[in-house]
Amino acid sequence: MALFRNDYSEAAHPNIINSLMAASKEQNIGYGEDNHCKRAAELIKKEIGLENIDIHFLAGGTQTNLVGVSTFLKPYQGVIAVETGHINTHETGAVEATGHKILTRPGKEGKLTPKDIISIMEEYVGEHLVQPAMVYISNSTEMGTIYNKEELRAIHNCCSQYGLYLFIDGARLGSALTSKDNDLTLKDIAALSDIFYIGGTKNGALLGEALVICNPDLKKDFRYAMKQRGALMAKGYVLGIQFEELFKDQLYFKLAAHANTMADKLKAAFKGLGTPMLTDSPTNQLFPIVSNEIAEILMKRYGCEFWQKVDEDHCSIRFVTSWATIEAEVDECIAYIETLLKK
């Protein structure tokens, strides 16, 4: 039975497994200074269309957020995020364990707005309070929604006005960039942020994220921060090999587009049955609202997770499709859901 729990249940795309096997007896320089990492960085730079950026490979999303956010904040500074942001909910206080407070606002469907940022800047004034210094957003968000170019530019301009760094969590950036509603490119992301990352773990890699530093003022000594936080891997070439494959022949985007296509099919089925959605997600995360009884059945059968209580009798559960989701399994799921919801 197919599981729709997350987008990292499968190990890795066969191209990546084969490349790792082919390199199994190579001898490579350690700590990301090998030729694989260098070639992967060049491929990413070519895709972005910029040379004056620094690229570092880290193992996972929480680690990348932790290092990426905490490195550029002074001890008395904090980071602005939406309440549902990953750093505020699903990272066991990793950022705050470094001494940096997360300053939150409810946002809208998982997205932060300039109004949210301004309200925090107006509230946190003076040396008796934490000084906001960075804005953290995710694309796609924890709610499956995405930022369009107008929204991202407005946040970027707001950050520029207040002297804030903008950090974009790209754990599911592939899904965001290949969704039907998207109007952003990787070059746009680089132009409108100080630092962002391209998620591999949730898009076909065995593990790994590619962190891109766009602001030249933030480049110096970043590897020191990686080493101190345990993020400078001795076998860094394992990450480089994977991103070489992901950025050959548009594989990164093809895998993300497939996950979105499978989610779109599932979403259309739910909507056809009159099932409301918690958010209008155009990416590979869906949040149907069903009765508590139906939720228990679907969670047990498909591994999807409880997400949010809606009322006493209904809740939202999360379905996630992946690069490896098989269409026939989606069809089976749809047929089963129809037997439940048509009763």
Flag whether pLDDT at 1 surpasses 80: no
For the segment 262-280, the average pLDDT, to the nearest whole number, is: 97
- Per-residue pLDDT, 158: 98
Give the pLDDT confidence score for residue 297 in this predicted structure. 97
pLDDT digits (tens, 9 = 90+) for 118-127: 999 999 999 9
Q: Which structure tokens are listed for 71? A: 């490195």
Q: What is the mean pLDDT of residues 259-266?
A: 98
Statement: residue 205 has pLDDT above 70: yes
Residue indicated by tokens 């620094």: 54
Look up residue 322 and give its two tokens: 């992946």
- Mean pLDDT (whole number) for 29-44: 98
Q: pLDDT tens digit string along 302-328? A: 999 999 999 999 999 999 999 999 999
Mean pLDDT of 325-340: 96
343 has pLDDT over 70: no
Confidence of residue 342 (pLDDT cuts 50, 70, 90): confident
Rounded to an integer, the average pLDDT of 129-157 is: 98
The 10s digit of each residue's pLDDT in 58-74 is 999 999 999 999 999 99
Query: Which domains occur in the chain, in start order?
Result: 14-246 (3.40.640.10), 253-341 (3.90.1150.10)
**Averaged pLDDT score across all residues of the chain:** 97
pLDDT at 110 (0 to 100): 96
- Compute the residue count for the chain: 343
Given a cut of 90, whether residue 86 has pLDDT beyond it is yes
